[in-house]
Amino acid sequence: MGLIVGIISLPKKVKAVESPRAIVLEVKSFWWTFGYFKNARAVTIGHCVLLSLTIRPRDLEHELIHVLQFARAPIIYPALYYVELIRKGYKNNKYEEEAHRIAGNVYKEK
């Protein structure tokens, strides 16, 4: 699924990351997004990381934590993430808190 979304995002650059195993696509924009994702700098779908042109330092590391989270619970992780997002919002989402903490980047509201 991640590669399909990556392809329709018209990647400018593609690279492989070995640990954790992931495909990283740099894309011009997330033209297909809406709502929560509209202002996203990066999106992770399974083992596929999509980075926009607006990424900040440590964003890739943050997204790779989401790859590890997916690897821990591959079938159910997307549902768990969205339940947490609906219940607690982005800032208080335990998966985002873990990714921010380990990656060393800080959540900044717009």
pLDDT per residue as tens digits for the range 55-73: 999 999 999 999 999 999 9
Closest listed residue to residue 15, CA positions, set 28, 7, 5, 24: 24
pLDDT per residue as tens digits for the range 48-57: 999 999 999 9
Query: 108 lies in a domain?
Result: no
Residues 6+ apart with CB under 8 A from 85: 36, 93
Query: 54 lies in a domain?
Result: yes
Query: 109 lies in a domain?
Result: no
Query: 43 lies in a domain?
Result: yes
Q: What is the pTM of this model?
A: 0.90
Query: 110 lies in a domain?
Result: no
- Residue 9 confidence (pLDDT) above 80: yes
Report the number of distinct structural domains present in the chain: 1
Domain that holds residue 84: 2-103
| pLDDT the model gives residue 33 | 85
The residue written with tokens 């992770």 in the block is: 44
